[in-house]
Chains A and B, each alone.
Chain A
């Protein structure tokens, strides 16, 4: 097989990078940077929980297995949603997204699986700049499930859909024998319209852009972690942040703000979204630790468990990359809305070092922020 210098991660590229740098440590780091540009390969023989945690393993599974086998021009965009063209229409496309919800416990402070299932799918549409038209709901129910409990979940879906102004327009139900599912799983698919060409797209991210976060990080993940009861911690004011964000996204776009990219920071947290941005757009993202909004309760839980709030899941927060001169207006607008009262400018996009996210710590140092690897596992001491 012949290799070219331009092929990222190829042996020739690695050697070329090494030759540029005299210092051995820099050489090693250059080599690593080149290797990280390689297409990920799936090494495991079996699915582990890491493949579902939203970090590097999930990313590898998605690109190296699903993306590889099912590859087509629409899927290959790897967005939160697919945009389908309508024959004969060139101003508007159809946005489609799907998501499954398997959260345990089903009810937690600030929300439940039903509300998540509605809001999560609306958000996947919203961050692509789409206007939701309707969503479907498919249920996988475990034999023996309490119908009163199912009713509560579906009523909660109804309330969430009403709040968001979206109908649940179709659905499906399957029942599996006891033990073959954990109570109740929900899949929702959302359909919406999006203006063409899409204003919000990875390729529009450019050095100099400003990165905003719509509110405090980690509320949902920290709440669910405590609600599971694995850790004997209590935090009275901790609530899941689950909410629909399409009002916020459409307000930003309607105001004429030059939004280059948006993504909701769910599993894997804000750090994972920033890494996806850096890698997919071939840029660097620099954030300032002091600017990151985090509630004290989440900081406390994260501190005790040795987890970084940057990696904790959210269900009602988005990262927005906007043109630099539009950033002040974007921030003002976000903060004027209930979804974004605690919004903040958290960083900026830079050209180099490509594919990397780093943070200026409040302490005055700098470090790399990598993608989440596996599940966030607490440190022992």
Chain B
């Protein structure tokens, strides 16, 4: 596939991995990828296998599905059950558990819940069903918010009155601040969110370098992008620099997309506060509709229960989202909480750190186990089971059979 395969070249990856290994020295590096899309890429391509064991990737809070708290989801489900409502949302939201089931369960119980690929699909459904009320449950960071905004502007321009947006759009900077203020976490740098930056540009991340003294490299979503980003952070620190760099220049302009920003400010304003799953209430961290669009605001038009539901006690999504806990360190990971019966949202979306680790990551560890047992070594105990440098030779090499 042109324009994609070039960024997935195994030879380049090995060379870059070797360079990172050589330049990272003995120091233990902790680099957070902010965006869930990066987490997905890291696990999907097995990028950790190409990194030395002293370079650790910490999975950040940027999975838009994962940060939706249960109460908001219950509100959405309540609206979905209102008579005459067609409830639309993106696919990976449908399995997220509310306090009494997911949207898929609501659908099975008779609610008209439909998966859409774009808010414009919801607009089309509204046009095709003038006697129904069509609700779009909007989620996502600055990446998806402009498409919601444009949809609302079009609905207004065309006089469509039966489309409503249940707005859960959030912004990326406040949770990054919350994480940087968290005393538990010692990070060396950030892989900045590529898609968000296409809209906001790279300047909003300057507070990370200026106030907190951590380098940021905005990176793309192909596996080589991520490896290069890791290398750029290590290079910055070696050279004594602390900057916001743009690795994803083929897509991201330093100033972002002014038109998208203009559309955002026309349709949305900052909420005074918004609850984040696991992170609690963060002030000015989310968007709501401007008064001009109040007639389209599902939260104003429908009676929304608005009950705050505490996260399940066993669930440690918050610690995972902050990067304090690795997914497998959560008490219920993989046992009570699995992708088919998720307790926390991190286990639902394939961008969630837990689901990504559960679906893709388990084998690397299994292989490490085999290696350790076969060689009679003991584990290094840092819980960071990357294969040490042994990355090149697994073209269908059988694993030594373990005596049971």
- The chain A residues found within 8 Å of chain B, CB to CB, are 21-26, 28-29, 31-33, 35, 43-44, 46-50, 56-57, 207, 230-231, 284, 286, 288, 296, 299-300, 303, 305-306, 347-348, 350-353, 356, 358, 360-368, 370, 373-375, 377-381
Contacts and interface: CB of A to CB of B under 8 A. Distances in A.
B313 interface: no
B293 interface: no
Contacts of A24: 329, 383
B391 A305 contact: no
A374 to B, nearest CB: 6
Contact of B13 (A25, A364, A375): A364
Contacts of B92: 377-380
B183 interface: no
Contact of B49 (A296, A303, A366): A366
Contacts of B329: 24-25, 28
Contact of A21 (B109, B139, B350, B369): B369
B396 A368 contact: no
B392 A364 contact: yes
Given A26-B365, A296-B1, A364 B117 contact: no
Given A347-B396, A381-B143, A353 B44 contact: no
Given A35-B335, A49-B104, A353-B370, A56 B394 contact: no
B281 interface: no
A380 B90 contact: yes
Nearest to B14: A364
Contacts, number: 193
Nearest to A24: B383
B379 A23 contact: yes
Interface of B: 1, 4, 8-10, 13-14, 17, 37, 40, 43-50, 64-65, 90-95, 104-105, 107-109, 115-117, 121, 139-140, 143-144, 195, 223, 326, 328-329, 333-335, 339-341, 349-351, 358-370, 372, 378-379, 381, 383, 385, 391-392, 394-396, 398-399, 401-402
Contact of A378 (B40, B91, B391): B91
Contact of A363 (B8, B361, B401): B8
Contact of A365 (B4, B49, B117, B334): B49
A44 B108 CA distance: 11
B104 A50 contact: yes
7 contacts: A21-B369, A22-B379, A29-B328, A32-B334, A46-B108, A370-B358, A373-B339
A52 to B, nearest CB: 11
Nearest to B11: A364
A288 B395 contact: yes
A364 B328 contact: no
Given A352-B402, A364-B10, A364-B50, A305 B117 contact: yes
A352 B366 CA distance: 9
B47 A365 contact: yes
Contacts of A50: 104
B14 A367 contact: no
B379 A28 contact: no
Contacts of B17: 364
A348 B9 CA distance: 24
A107 B139 CA distance: 34
B381 A23 contact: yes
Question: Which of B65, B195, B363, B399: most chain A CB closer than 10 A?
Answer: B363
Nearest to B367: A366
Given A362-B8, A364-B46, A374-B95, 5 more contacts: A353-B399, A361-B45, A367-B46, A367-B363, A368-B360
Contact of B4 (A303, A351, A352, A366): A303
A5 to B, nearest CB: 11
